[in-house]
Structure 1
């Protein structure tokens, strides 16, 4: 296993045109590779921003949009994580993370759906059920999406599975105190799981109407002790951080919360 992985978080504002959003992926994947990263993370809903008729944009994982992302990842020689929407039963879709790159091919369906703050994701989206763990450049990487960050048990499970880093693409809803919650939750989940957390949000859009979660920026990387290693502001940008995974083992020896926790019956 590798001790270090360089990760870039591409804090973009995706729009309503999936083809234009592919151009954002291409540009930022190349910039991440130029920065020496082997993993570039894009936000939830990179394929198409929330708001409006999402269902008509859904494509299968072997569809045109996902294949275009694969081609970019292959051409650049980097692993790409990007949020998209795939068809599901009962005229619904799944909120899916595509994970693709050299020797890497996987996907994660968002487990916890955002039925909060006046938005009902479950009206159109079917939930996933299974955590995902992937080896990327010798590092064990787990995945979560946006609202998942509010649920410690998922992150503890990923820690149990051996995660050293958890990646969290998001399109975080705006509102009073929401940026503080985002930062607090990222740090808390790093402590819960004793993993690094790399949480990539959509940049704050220039204008937003309605209850659709469109992003507040402030993408963040935290250490297993909850230390903030880097964070962006609300505007588009890219954050590149070296993750030194040997710290995970050291923290788990001195602070064995996964080992010490008790399990309670429901």
Structure 2
């Protein structure tokens, strides 16, 4: 198994702070760090100087998480093995290796952090069903399956994208999307205004990709600690979020001509109308 994390250049301290401990816990075949917003030779020199020699560093100037994910997913095809992607501000629990052994038969599974589970996981549970329990080290953990595409009427009006991978502190990939899927999704993503791309969560991108892979539900359980980095505001302006999703959905309609993407587009057309007041004050 390959262990991967991804982060912008200004958060490279998280590699030593969190990721190297995750490497110790998971004992992967290799550890890879993807660093975004790298566009100058001096930045490469800094990366070589400050990051551990025990990880492979890959960098680019993708400018957002979603284009970084597309680049990573393409690269993963060359690795020839299972890949586990951990958010850079997460510390996995000691039982994740055992959990991975139990869940590796699924094409994808994900992990929720313990803090979110204790706080209120209702926004995940509303699209999940309990499918069992995992007996790990003498204790049990609930196992849920998250519905990546919400085709319900209420989903059109409820907050959150109709496409969503579920909890995403860790994403384990035993199956990868075909290159043709990545090419078409990338074209849809690149049709979004460059200043709006950052308003589309990578959970949405991964939900779209999983759906296109024929995956209806993604198993998840609890096995990490989320150490929030706090470097960006917690909430985005709703109209800008809606505009970003609308443009992405429009690109997906153009690329795939599927009714579920028209529904995705409709949801955010309605959201733009509803949230125009978040910017324009009458």
TM-score, normalised with respect to structure 2: 0.28
Whichever structure has more strand as a proportion of its residues is 1
User: Which of these two proteins has the greater Rg computed from alpha carbons?
Assistant: 2
More helix as a share of residues: 2
Using the size of structure 1 for normalisation, the TM-score is: 0.29
